[in-house]
Amino acid sequence: MRKKTIKDINLQGKKVLCRVDFNVPIKDGRIGDDTRIRAALDTINYVLEQEGSCLILMSHLGRPKGKAAPEHSLEPVARRLSELLGREVIMAPDCVGPEVEKQAQALRAGQVLLLENVRFHKEEEANDPQFAARLARLGEVYVNDAFGSAHRAHASTEGVAHHLPAVAGFLMEKEIRFLGGVLENPEKPFVAIIGGAKVSTKIAVLESLLARVSSFIIGGAMAYTFLKVLGHEVGASMVEEDLLDTARSLLDKAGKQGVELLLPVDHLVASEFSDQARAEYIAEVDIPQGKIGMDVGRKTLERNRGVIVAAKTLVWNGPLGVFEFPEFAQGTLETAKAVSACAGTTVIGGGDSVAAVKQFGLDDSISHVSTGGGASLEYLEGKVLPGIRALQNT
């Protein structure tokens, strides 16, 4: 998928309307993590460097359900962005309306206007055409740099693109390039590490990647559904009984296509699902009755490491254990170390996987750490995301 970017369009002297993802954690008016704001800086600075251009930014924050709510205001974001840019960021009282249009018209070259939360209007998530047109009136060119919202056909992510020349920002372009590369032309051996709690949330990704990968490494609670299908004892581990046939079908397809499917061969287990539970090591595949599989064991990690380090292309989505409990985080963290040691193209998506590489300070050694969350998952499923589809092709 080849989409035009901000480098393919003349921005000089233009009012640029840019959709960004400033959905950051805010408590008591303070931003807990400004990663998403920093991620947009390359695009923002590039636009402002174009002679005579000015910038109008729009984003959502939280889930205000179509009503103005002070706790979901983007005002703290405006203050933080101003600090990062070293210039004033004007905060609009709303995202549409006569006063906002007046502010947009009055912008001079180099000025930045941040619109208030677009989800203060129910028309945003409904992708109301008239609301999209009102947003579009504020600018002359539309730039979408919010990949994390590209899987939603909302007014600010899809609707506006029907009214203005629409191109991708640098962050959006990077996500398309890396995730698209994984799907379109992966260098072999191609290894996919898929973890998480449920097979049901990863079926589409597994099926999409099955025709492309050399090896699947399956971890997390979803592994126990596959192990049960193969006749192993899984104790009291989480199993999706209604998906046993689906897991069996995936195993059969992998076998027929010569895809190596690697499941845990040893485990860390507990007697209860709790952050206070003590880890017990089980040195074999079968889990004793009453015990809950919580993480992969050292033999599994050692085997996985060899496969991971040898990969030419690697994608990782989802933790290999109950990552939020420190006693059972080792599998995910050791996997992060192995991925960082891989010399091939490495792409990571999913909150816990991303958190693991950041916790170890390993994100700089990964080719691409996706900020997309649900959007990256849907992209890997092979879906065409509406926010990307709406952008101009090259």
| Positions marked active-site | 36, 198, 351, 374
Is the separation of the CB atoms in 348 and 325 below 8 Å? no
* Cα 299 from Cα 203, distance rounded (Å): 26
* Cα 372 from Cα 379, distance rounded (Å): 9
Q: Which two tokens stand for residue 257?
A: 């296509």
* Cα 386 from Cα 175, distance rounded (Å): 15
SS (H, E, C) 279-331: CEEECCCCECCCCEEEEECHHHHHHHHHHHHCCCEEEEECCCCCCCCHHHCHH
DSSP calls for 318-378: S-SS-TTSGGG-HHHHHHHHHHHT--SEEEEESHHHHHHHHHTT-GGGSSEE---THHHHH
* Cα 392 from Cα 3, distance rounded (Å): 6
Is the separation of the CB atoms in 340 and 139 below 8 Å? no
**What are the helix (H) ranges across the chain?**
35-39, 41-49, 75-85, 98-106, 122-125, 129-136, 170-184, 203-210, 222-229, 244-256, 298-309, 330-340, 351-359, 374-380, 386-389
3-class DSSP state for residue 152? coil
Is the separation of the CB atoms in 345 and 312 below 8 Å? yes
Strand (E) or helix (H) holding 26: strand 26-27
* Cα 132 from Cα 183, distance rounded (Å): 32
